A and B are shown apart, each in its own frame.
Chain A
Amino acid sequence: LAKTTQPISMDSYEGQEVNITCSHNNIATNDYITWYQQFPSQGPRFIIQGYKTKVTNEVASLFIPADRKSSTLSLPRVSLSDTAVYYCLVSGASKIIFGSGTRLSIRP
Chain B
Amino acid sequence: DSGVTQTPKHLITATGQRVTLRCSPRSGDLSVYWYQQSLDQGLQFLIQYYNGEERAKGNILERFSAQQFPDLHSELNLSSLELGDSALYFCASSVESGASYNEQFFGPGTRLTVL
Contact = CB atoms under 8 A, between A and B. Distances in A.
A87 interface: yes
Nearest to B33: A96
A97 B98 CA distance: 12
Contacts, number: 66
A49 B102 contact: yes
Contacts of B45: 96-98
Interface string A80-108: 00000001000111111111110000000
B2 interface: yes
Interface in A33-72: 34, 36, 41-46, 49
Nearest to A85: B42
Contacts of A30: 99
Main secondary structure of the interface of B (DSSP, over half): loop
A32 B106 contact: no
B99 A45 contact: no
Contact of A43 (B48, B103, B106): B106
Contacts of B52: none
B56 interface: yes
A31 interface: yes
Given A43-B2, A43-B92, A43-B106, A94 B101 contact: no
Nearest to B91: A43
B105 interface: yes
B42 A45 contact: no
Interface in B18-70: 33, 35, 42-45, 48, 55-56, 58
Interface of B: 2, 4, 33, 35, 42-45, 48, 55-56, 58, 88, 90, 92, 97-109
